Chain A
Amino acid sequence: MTKPFIQISGLSKRFPGANGGEPLTVFESANFSIEKGEFVCIIGHSGCGKSTIMNILAGLDTPTDGGVIMGGKEISGPSLDRGVVFQNYSLLPWLSALKNVTFGVRARHPDWSRAQVLEHSQKYLEMVGLTGGAEHRKPAQLSGGMRQRVSIARAFAIRPELLLLDEPFGALDALTRGTIQDELTRIWSGSEQTVFMITHDVDEAILLADRILLMTNGPFARVAESVVIDIPRPRERAEIIHQPAYYKIRNHLVEFLARRSKQLSGVRDHGGEPPVTVRPGADDPDEQERRPASRPQLVSVAS
């Protein structure tokens, strides 16, 4: 078996307690992997440590234990190979929207001419629908959704190997959200890029992901399940709900978030087991056969 593109092994994160109290263990011995070109979403309740995992993947934070290997190399710091859309946009407020994007493009391609940088940046701003003068405004003069789009354009424009997206569509209206989701799928499928995305939106995750990682509640959170989305691509927003697998997957996810995320939480010393693979949407016999290996485990934990 070949090694996965990204291997997360024995990852733990503890924050020192407030005024010398008990340290806060966000998660412990997390083990999972991501394949090259895969689109992975991670879902879990607020505060379970999704952003913390992402910061470690981005190289901005260091784990208390364990490590991440990407492309055969240990992640030891931030890199332009990993583009980040931060949960709070993190735009530079003294630069216009356009300059925020050229900031990234120039860092990625120091050898490009001014015109090249500008053209490339404008292309990505157009993609997120920020044109007609809005691109020359400062972040403070843009709406929350517009800021988020600038942040998306900045990350996409550097075309990183791995895109790390922390609730990138949270502040967008349904229409813009749809457009940018489609755009993201288009960019991703036409490239070798791998995407790791945090979301709270179950439908969005089903539409976009190859696989959804489910996290239990914190503290001592863990990645409990890896749900494979057995829905063929290309997926159409309007069509997907008519797929027989859709509601099976959706119900499984909702059920996890509503009940089992809490039931499974707080388990210490779970031995660093990798998440259980679940395929609620699979109905061909081959898949059924493979299922028992994971299913019983799951049931035993749940009941």
Chain B
Amino acid sequence: MNGMALSDNSKAFLLSIAMLVAILGIWELATPGVKSAGELTEYEMLTGGGGEQARVPPPSQVIEKAVKELSNPFYDNGPNDKGIGIQLAYSLYRVLSGYFLAALIAIPIGFLIGMSPIAYKALDPFIQVLRPISPLAWMPLALFVIKDSQASAIFVIFICSIWPMLINTAFGVANVRKDWINVAKTHELGQLKTAFLVILPAAAPTILTGMRISIGIAWLVIVAAEMLVGGTGIGYYVWNEWNNLDLTSVIFSILMIGVVGMLLDTVFAYIQRAVQFQE
């Protein structure tokens, strides 16, 4: 059984590598950045892709850029020239502070809503109206009220990550099996002990699902938010490099956004697996 699964996995892995090589190969051949493919020059000239400035770079250039950036990710040469590591760290800082602030509020409130059907009904209309608002729509209001672009970006992250956590926590808590609550009751557990020893572990998988959705959304939103507020962060970096017409850097940073997003998701997937249980 296990051996079969492993061989399936390695087959998939080999296929992934093959696809990557194929994509990079086609991309490399299709982009005239490096004059390695002599036969293509004619085609290049026909398509008029000779413009000096805005040309999609071949992967070899992107890799070169990545090696250079990643070998010294934390350099700081003033406001417009910081290493990719510093930019990502700024973004992560904003995402994580907004996110954990949201968790700090969403999980306890979700708990209360889940425990009380009346609170659920009372708060539901507010949640239904606030939830579909695009997080960036809050930006002008945040900038006006908070008067600080850094804090406003954090607020936008806060507001976008609060809903999935709130809704999932409430749902998870409201749907804890009655049998388990009865176990707590027959053991004379107080409210607090019931909440921590029974309801929390029972609802944890659902809560973690909400937290995982939230972190994904937060990472999506931070790029856009930083393009708006500027200054620092990976979103600002992408925009800045576009203004510099440095497409190699743009592609490199797009890839970095993907990699960091994947790492964040992996961490939450891991925690989710740790609290998962089989009934």
Interface residues of A (CB under 8 A from B): 58-60, 77-80, 82-84, 86, 88, 90, 92-95, 103-104, 107-108, 138, 140-141, 158
Give A103 to B187 CA distance when docked, in angstroms: 9
Choose the segment among B129-137, B177-185, B213-221 that binds chain A (4+ C-beta atoms closer than 8 Å): B177-185
**Which of B223-279 touch A at CB < 8 Å?**
275, 277-279
Task: Determine whether the beta carbon of B186 is less than 8 Å from that of A78.
Answer: yes
Stretch at the interface among B146-154, B165-173, B196-204: B196-204
Q: Which 3 A-B pairs have the closest CB atoms?
A: A140-B278, A107-B187, A94-B277
Question: Do residues A107 and B201 form an inter-chain contact, with CB atoms below 8 A?
Answer: no
**CB-based nearest B residue for A80:** B188
Tell me, rounded to whole Å, the shortest Cβ–Cβ distance linking B208 to chain A.
13
Bound CA span A138–B279, Å: 9
Check B189 for interface membership: any CB of A closer than 8 A.
Answer: yes
If the complex has contacts A103-B197, A140-B277, A140-B279, are A90 and B187 also in contact, measured as CB distance less than 8 A? no
Q: Are B277 and A93 in contact, CB atoms less than 8 angstroms apart?
A: yes
Least CB distance, B148 to chain A, in whole angstroms = 43
- Secondary structure class of chain B's binding surface, majority of residues: helix
Dominant SS at the A interface?
loop
> Are A94 and B179 also in contact (CB < 8 A) when A79-B188, A104-B187, A107-B187 are?
no
Would you call A90 and B182 a contact (CB within 8 A)? yes
User: Once the chains bind, are A94 and B201 in contact (CB under 8 Å)?
Assistant: yes
Whole-angstrom distance between the alpha carbons of A20 and B137 in the complex? 46
| Bound complex: CA A84 to CA B201 (Å) | 22
Given contacts A92-B201, A94-B277, A138-B277, contact A60 B187 (CB under 8 A): no
User: B residues within 8 A CB of A82?
Assistant: 186
* In the bound complex, CA of A158 to CA of B186 (Å): 11
Contact B188 A90 (CB under 8 A): no
Contact B183 A90 (CB under 8 A): yes
Inter-chain contact A90/B277, CB cutoff 8 Å? no
Q: Are B185 and A90 interface neighbours, CB within 8 A?
A: no
Instruction: Please give, as numbers and ranges, the residues of chain A lying within 8 Å of B275 by CB-CB distance.
Output: 94
Beyond the given pairs A92-B198, A95-B201, 12 more chain A to chain B contacts, judged by CB atoms under 8 angstroms and listed by A's residue number, are A58-B186, A59-B186, A82-B186, A86-B179, A90-B180, A92-B180, A92-B201, A94-B202, A107-B187, A107-B189, A108-B187, A138-B277
* CA–CA, A172 and B183, complex, Å: 22
- Closest A residue to B180 by CB, please name it: A92
Contact across chains for A60 and B277 when beta carbons are under 8 A apart: no
Complex interface: chain A residues within 8 A of B187 (CB): 80, 103-104, 107-108, 158
**A92-B188 Cα distance, complex, nearest whole Å:** 16
Q: How far is the CA of A82 from the CA of B188 in the complex (A)?
A: 10
CA distance A77 to B185 in the complex (A): 8
For B278, give its contact among A92, A107, A138, A158 (CB under 8 Å). Answer: A138
Report the separation of the CA atoms of residues A93 and B185 in the bound assembly, to the nearest whole angstrom: 17
Given contacts A138-B277, A140-B278, contact A84 B179 (CB under 8 A): no
Query: Would you give the 0/1 interface string for B34-56, flagging 1 where the beta carbon is closer than 8 Å to chain A?
Result: 00000000000000000000000
Closest CB in chain A relative to B44 CB, distance in Å? 62
**Could you give 12 example pairs across A and B, Cβ below 8 Å?**
A58-B186, A60-B182, A80-B186, A80-B188, A84-B182, A84-B186, A86-B179, A86-B183, A88-B179, A93-B278, A95-B201, A138-B278
